[in-house]
Amino acid sequence: MPLTLLLWQTFTLYPNDYSFNNLTVLFWISKGDAQFAEGEAGILRNTAILRAAWNSIRLALISSATAGFLGIFIGYAVVKGRNTRLANSVEQISFLPYLVPGIAFGALYLSLFTHRIGPFPALYGIFFLVDLVCISKNLPFTGRAGISSMLQIGNELEEASEVTGARWFRRFRKIILPLSIKGSLSGFLLVFIMMMKELALIILLVTPETRTLTTMTFRYQEQGYVQFSSAISVLIIFIVLAGNLITKKIMVSLLQKRKDNTLEARIQTILPTGAETVIQARHFDSESREVTFNILLTREEEWKVGQEVFLYIPPEEILLFDGDTGRLISPEI
């Protein structure tokens, strides 16, 4: 109901009058008539609002992506070094921005970067400063998401790959990052939504060139143009819903890709259509890069119990399994 009234208000010529005689689309498509709203163009034709929409979207995307990626490293450092002084310090420091009110946090950065300090230039007036503030403010959320994701990843995965000679960057890219992507995307989505509707944190830092939709809403509300303010709010809601839908589709796609990349899925591609099998890994030849499997159960006559199946593993991929039991240590290769 509130959303319906909010949308309806964007089509009213005079505020608080919801009759059909008061309906208009000027606040959406007006070209800028001097007799209407002091010459302000409608939402869809207003270059200042469209620029603010672009600023809001890129602020939300850059902040959420950067904070989400940093959150993975925070989670990795805290979980892998748990109960050490360094890990505890990283966890506590990353949580500090949450304790500071948004407007005070923005004021701190404003006072710090309004003038040059040593090698650091004055950043006030450029979009990078707004990004920096938003990234720092949201590290507590992405850091917690990263910690939660890392706690669900067993140490044996990385330890086993380390034994095979995989370097840290390769282990991180092939094992840690794919397994933590779901939690990271959740943190990304949370920060994206928060940044699209953020006002107090950035209101002291924006300039006419770096305005966002929320600051434009505040401006129109002060001027008494409730319809413009409501229309921008509807636009923010639409962008947030679109971002939520896109992120969820990406999550489903990544999870499906990971499922399709499992050893069992690859083996099914070399079996006859309709074959129902339980396959157990038995041997991996490091020179030929071939994995030998034994079929334990089959309903296809041409596939016998105990028959061997071979699958080639490219050199750039990591394969981890227990040769005695055939149990996969790594869910992906």
Give the 3-state DSSP-derived string for 260-276, with helices as H, strands as E and coil as C.
HCCHHHHHHCCCCCCCC
pLDDT given at position 328: 45
pLDDT given at position 130: 93
Q: What is the pTM of this model?
A: 0.75
Look at residue 212 and give its three-state secondary structure.
Answer: coil
Partners of residue 135 on adjacent β-strands: none
Partners of residue 311 on adjacent β-strands: 291
pLDDT given at position 316: 46
Look at residue 44 and give its three-state secondary structure.
Answer: coil
Average pLDDT, the chain: 78
pLDDT given at position 311: 53
Over the stretch 142-199, which tens digit does the pLDDT of each residue have? 998 888 888 887 777 777 777 767 788 888 887 788 778 877 888 889 999 999 999 9
The stretches in the chain having pLDDT less than 50 are: 296-301, 303-306, 312, 315-319, 321-333
Partners of residue 308 on adjacent β-strands: 294
Do 130 and 61 form a contact (C-beta atoms < 8 A)? no
Do 187 and 71 form a contact (C-beta atoms < 8 A)? yes
Per the structure block, which two tokens stand in for 93? 């420091």
pLDDT given at position 306: 47
pLDDT given at position 256: 64
Inter-CA distances, 169 with 22, 40, 332, Å = 63, 53, 17
Per the structure block, which two tokens stand in for 128? 């990078």
The domains located in the chain, with CATH, are 47-260 (1.10.3720.10), 263-333 (no CATH)
pLDDT given at position 217: 92
pLDDT given at position 261: 55
Which has the closest alpha carbon to 15: 215, 213, 229? 229
